[in-house]
Structure 1
Amino acid sequence: MNKLTFDCFTKKIFIKAPIEKLYWCWGTSEGITSWFLSTAIYTSATGEERKVDENIQAGDSYLWKWHNWDGKEEGTVLKANGKDFLEVSFADSKVSVTLEDHEKAVLVILKQHEIPVDEESKLNIHHGCSNGWTFWLANLKAYLEHGILLNETEHDLRNIPLSGFEFVNM
């Protein structure tokens, strides 16, 4: 990406943790619910629910639920190599996560792409997800490097209008 557009964005962060731990955080139900989601259910292409510590695989379907949001996201695991790359369908687009080992830290590269460019998608997907991923990547770094979570779990924000756009730790 040489210029900013509404059909994609990239977020990057260095995290001091083993690449295997980072892949676990993204590629298993147990891992992704440790820092990001309240619920993550992965189902294989043959209809069997994956164990919480089992790596996701291409062709799996998923159901994700968050703290402080009554909605859910359902999609498909498009690619998953078990070590440093995965891609899922997400919010009418695709999200890929690449992990690059850089000796003292791992560079996490998140790219959300194939975003529709209608006005609603520009606001809700490009703007909303870009802000959201910025927070969640910082939350992942805080979790792995300092053992703390920054997301709100004590206060119920679901009945506050625009909470998803105003609270930075949704």
Structure 2
Amino acid sequence: MTAPIARSASARNRTLHTPRRKGRHRDRPHPRTRSPGDCRRHGQAPPSSTGWDRRGPARFRIAADRYHHQFCADLQADEAALMAATQRPVTERALTDGLTGEPAWRTIPSWFVFGGQDLNIPADAVRFMAERASSRGTRVVSDASHAIAASRPEEVVATIVDAVGEGQG
């Protein structure tokens, strides 16, 4: 039987914590933080539907009362409400960290399918990404929202079948 590792009282009581801003602004994001869906550089106004998740590091979520319009306007209200209640927040880090290494789209064939009514990622931005990645197939569903996999699964499946067919041919 091995003896337990001895730890000092201060080491036992130490906890990891995330530094927080002090004063009256402690519950607000740092001013240099970019909001998700920052569309200013793409010629669109940024969505006003994002909210801060105050648990831990800066994380973003779409406010439940704005979720249907912002994320999945082409779905039924009850499905949108379920999606809003179960959404996972995106971290600030995911939106702001740079890449390490070679982007996969430079070496792996790419296909794109997106909604023309997406209010989170502007269609022009997706078109740019598709062109930059030398997309082998780009399908635009003009009346689809950001939640295209839920609202228009046939088009998403067709894009996947196209990609698989080309990969096998």
Work out which of the two has the higher radius of gyration on C-alpha atoms and give 1 or 2: 2
Do they superpose with TM above 0.5?
no
Structure with the higher fraction of residues in helix conformation: 2
Q: Scaled by the length of structure 1, what TM-score is found?
A: 0.26
**Greater relative CO (CA pairs within 8 A, separation 6+):** 1
